[in-house]
Amino acid sequence: MEQRPAMKKVKEKTKRKTKDVEEEEREELFNLNNKSAEKAEEKKTMTCQTEDDGSDEDDDKQNQQIKVKNNKNKKGTTEGKQEKKEDEYEHDTSDEEDIRNTVGNIPMEWYKDFPHIGYDLDGKKIFKPIRNKDELDEFLDKMENPDYWRTVHDKQTGRDIVLSDEQVDLVNRLQRGQFGDVNFNEYQPTVEFFSSDVMIHPVTNRPADKRSFIPSLIEKEKVSKLVHAIKMGWIKPRRVQDDSKERYYDLWAGEDSSILAKHKMHLPAPKVPLPGHEESYNPPPEYLFTEEEKAVWEQQDPEDRKLPFLPKKFSSLRQVPAYSRFIHEKFERCLDLYLCPRQRKMRVNVNPEDLIPKLPKPKDLQPFPTTQSLVYRGHSGLVRSIGVSPSGQWLASGSDDGSVRFWEVCSARCMKTVQVGGAVKSIAWNPNPALCLLAVAVDSSVLILSPSLGDKLVVSSSERLLAGSQDDDPSEGPEPVSWSETEGEELKEGIHLKIQHPKAVHQVTWHAKGDYLASVMPDNSSHLQVFIHQLSRRRSQNPFRRNKGLVQSVAFHPVRPFFFVATQRYVRIYNLVKQEMTKKLQANSKWISNIAVHPGGDHVICGSYDCKLSWFDLDLSTKPYKVLRHHKRAVRSVAYHRGYPLFASASDDGTVIVCHGTVYNDLLQNPLIVPVKVLRGHVITHDLGVLDLTVMKRRTEVKLSRENCVYTSCYCEENVWKLCEFIQAQKIAPLEQLAVIFISNDNRMVPLWKQKSGHEERPVIWDYHVILLKVGGKSDSVIYDLDSVLPFPCSLRLYAAQALRSDRGLKPEYHRKLRVVPADSFLSNFASDRSHMKNADGTWKMPPPSYPPIQTAESKMNLDDFIRMNPAVGWGSVYTLGQFLLKYVVEDPSTSASSSTAVS
């Protein structure tokens, strides 16, 4: 503060000197006769205009220079320098206008009609310079004067000024938006004038205002009101905290990671994730949910959702409502902090429908038996066993009344009755279609019957086999089984051979070739429980030397030399060629009752008295692949169908359950097992229900209709595949007459008329469509299209005229091509995983069929090879619509009277 008076004295002296210098300069400036003075004045004016604007540092430096020079003059410098003192205001740095004209900031246009343009410091007029140049002189000056481009006219002095290079650079920098000073650094670090640090001196030296020392009346009024409120008790002071009460502390306050990291049981504090764009009140469009995403989000469980809330968009922050889950999330946060070392077991909310496996609909797995067709009546006792001939024409039944009856399957007429003299335990037809023989188990003997039914050639070949000679090979000891031929009445009844066993026989079964026969005699105390008989050589052998358990049932492998033996809890598989056991299956049942082998030989089912049915996959494991517990009482019999993927089980509860069991050629794909039908109506007698069942092929003509076909909207390729499979299974038509037609083009836009999804005469634009063609004569070919409103089936001529029409009236991008693929090639090569029917988020465009996707061992998805109309790729042949119609239709529909509608 003591330096301020000295500074004021210096400034006063400087101002006095400046006034003297200015008076001398004015005399020189306004001397019009002195030309050299005018040039000097112009130079000074240009210098004043180009100086940097009001820098305090430059002024200080100039003042310091003036002091230094004055000191030198005092010490005895040259007299010339003493007389010519340095003027500290020689270069003016102010922003004011030209100091020679004192009119101030007024428009110079006011002096337009006057000979002068202002007044100097003495109040004398400043006359305008005489300008005798016309436009021609101006033009010549512009072309000849090299400095014309840098010459400017000063309105206050009325003179032309030539700018220097420094001034031109200054103008260019200002026009580019840069700073005037070349040395100015616009990126220099900022100086924080206002900070949290306590400063000794104020930022500015401006004296305090007078109002700062006068008390404010408004503040006085506020303070008086607060004092009055405190006195009245309206405002209470802060309560003093009681240290005796319990205090809460932060578990993780001031934790040191270096120290806590050494502890194995250290649990860091859980952190809340930072908010993202989706939590904004005005999120970007990509974070907002669509209607489909909202529906999927609402169906998901809370723990499966990616976001616990739905992002919403508001026009302003004021319209955002209160967060509905605020208290809930705060509570969850407190639990995370307080109970994080523990584990909260949340109750699992399971939808009962989710526990039910998603299986195909029974309608999609047809055909299978659904209703009772015939009842065979005639026995007076319990019917314990039945069998069907290989041709499916005859049925044999054995009963406790001591008789075996032969029935015609289609009419339920009893063709023949044979008295065997005892209760029949089991019967079995010879599976060889060239023979007509029946094995019957009665007490301790097995009877071989020839019912003499059917073709004469079959009957004669059967009798020749039975008349063969017995093997003369000598045996080492007495045979436990004896062969004998019947005579008299038994021979007339058709009983040709009798095989005598040491014990009662409970089961008989044939080998697939029809020459070998196996019999079972359950006895836990002996190893003579199973015998294998050869009919052509009339010899028997016991394949086992040791007792492996109480044998319940046996079966031959349909293809390989394997022999299945079922005891109470195990199923053993023996190789008859190598004479060794190859596999042992664990049924996980208390008592096995019956077994059956799949026609393919790789799967086995076994029923048990504890109401279970076990399915074994021999290539997978020795334990059951699937265990079915559909019956309420003991399972008596199980059987496979030889033609369809079906198997059935009979139980003492009086029901027969039919199941669909598809076995795939792909070893990586598990069998499809689906219960499809429960057959009821059997009467329970003496606590016994259905004792035996068998399956047969019934050759009946099936009429193909829409109701018999498997149909799913927008899955036309799979509908046609299922239709071909159904025609092949039912043998409605040979596959050589069938062809699958894919309709598409390179643009994937093909119009079709007479479609279910169309309206009246408007076409439907498909990306592709699949139909089935049955080729006959050119007038007999028919089309099967499940998506059309035309008759089913429809003649190809009618379908071409009504649904296909012609390409002549269509734009080129709608012209259609057709790929014709043989039905057998389509069934064996087509595969689709349905990925083309899924959206980007994984949802279905249309609900898929209930049955599994169609796949082959080579591919899981080759639909595009069929749709792509490239003859070099895929199967079948590719035609244009005209070529197809000329090949399969007599008359080209393009020449018919029916007109086609152009698609725009």
Tokens encoding 110: 């006011």
Collect all residues with Cβ–Cβ distance below 8 Å to 610 and sequence separation of at least 6.
589, 590, 591, 634
- Quick one: how far is CA 710 from the chain centroid? 26
- Residue 628 CB-half CA count within 13 A: 25
Tokens encoding 367: 């055909």
Termini Cα distance of the chain? 94
CA distance 502 to 480: 6
Collect all residues with Cβ–Cβ distance below 8 Å to 646 and sequence separation of at least 6.
368, 640, 658, 659, 660, 661, 695
Q: Where are the strands (E) in 28-169, listed by range?
A: 116-119, 125-127, 151-154, 159-162
Q: Is 785 a catalytic residue?
A: yes
Q: Is 58 a catalytic residue?
A: no
Is the separation of the CB atoms in 552 and 594 below 8 Å? yes
Q: Which residues pair with 626 in a beta bridge?
A: 615
Tokens encoding 504: 């009662």
Is the separation of the CB atoms in 752 and 769 below 8 Å? yes
Handedness of CA 577, 579, 584, 587 (dihedral sign): positive
Q: Is 794 a catalytic residue?
A: no
Burial 780-808 (b: 16+ CB within 10 A, else e): ebbbbbbbbebebbbbbbebbbbbbbbbe
Q: How open is the CA angle 514-515-521, to the nearest 5 degrees?
A: 95
CA distance 266 to 264: 6
In one-letter notation, the amino acid at residue 521 is M
CA distance 773 to 877: 14
Tokens encoding 36: 């050299």
Please pick, among 379, 769, 794, 815, the residue that the annotation labels catalytic: 769
Please pick, among 652, 653, 692, 785, the residue that the annotation labels catalytic: 785
CA distance 28 to 120: 13
CA distance 449 to 439: 6
- Asked if the bond preceding 451 is cis, omega within 30° of 0, the reply is no
Please pick, among 611, 659, 716, 724, the residue that the annotation labels catalytic: 716
- Catalytic residue set: 716, 769, 785
